Amino acid sequence: MAAGQIVFDLSADDGEESLPDEGGATMSLEAKSLSLELKAGGSGQFTAVFATLNVVDLDGDVTLPGAFSDGAGVLIGAWNHANGSLPVGKGVIREHGNTVRVEGAFFLDTPRGEAAYRTIRNLGTLTEWSYVFRVIDHSFGEWPVAAGQNHRVRFLKALDVVSVDPVARGAGVGTRTERIKSAAAVDLEREVLRFWRTLARQNGAAA
């Protein structure tokens, strides 16, 4: 197993987790870690760059264009892949060029979701993220790393992404942090919404 790569296996005796696919073969859950790019949106909304294509990552993998299912839904998981914890948000995967993003939102109406949002915002560039996935299709081959030198890599051709989770350390390539909506802005939106709800109730009672 490459450095920085996590493989979960619930069925195997050696601790590796394999899940059967439709054809009866086993499929392992893996995780890749990297920094995330957060961008402002509505309350709790963000846009995050979580993968770069056509580069060798620290696991020795090259993820190829088309590996991600554009438009697929994905969970935003708890810190450090906390097994058994509820998700803190949800999103949609978008692949464009060599950049893969998740357009999502934290569950600000849940304690864990709001805590994750505020913590990640306060950590800023210290936050790194990992995406948990199953390999649907892959192959092995050579990739140029220097003049006249090739490195044997695994080419990831098709992935099923289960979740994108915040972690303490990662192995990302070409990722960066933009911005996430400020807590003050979110609080202001809540106050405005509360005001209009109160006004609507008062108008309804007066009628």
- The mean pLDDT values, 10 residues at a time, for the chain of 207 residues are 35 37 56 63 73 88 95 91 86 91 90 90 78 94 88 95 80 46 50 61 66
Backbone conformation region of residue 205, classed left if phi is above 0, alpha if psi is from -120 to 50, else beta: alpha
**Is-above-0.75 flag for pTM?**
no
CB-count exposure of residue 30 (10 Å: 0-12, 13-18, 19+): buried
User: Which residue is it, tokens 């580069």?
Assistant: 55
> What are the pLDDT digits (tens) for 100-132?
888 888 999 999 999 988 888 888 777 777 788
Contact 167, 79 (CB under 8 A): yes
CA dihedral over 21, 25, 31, 32, signed as positive or negative = negative
Residue 90 has which token pair?
């949800």
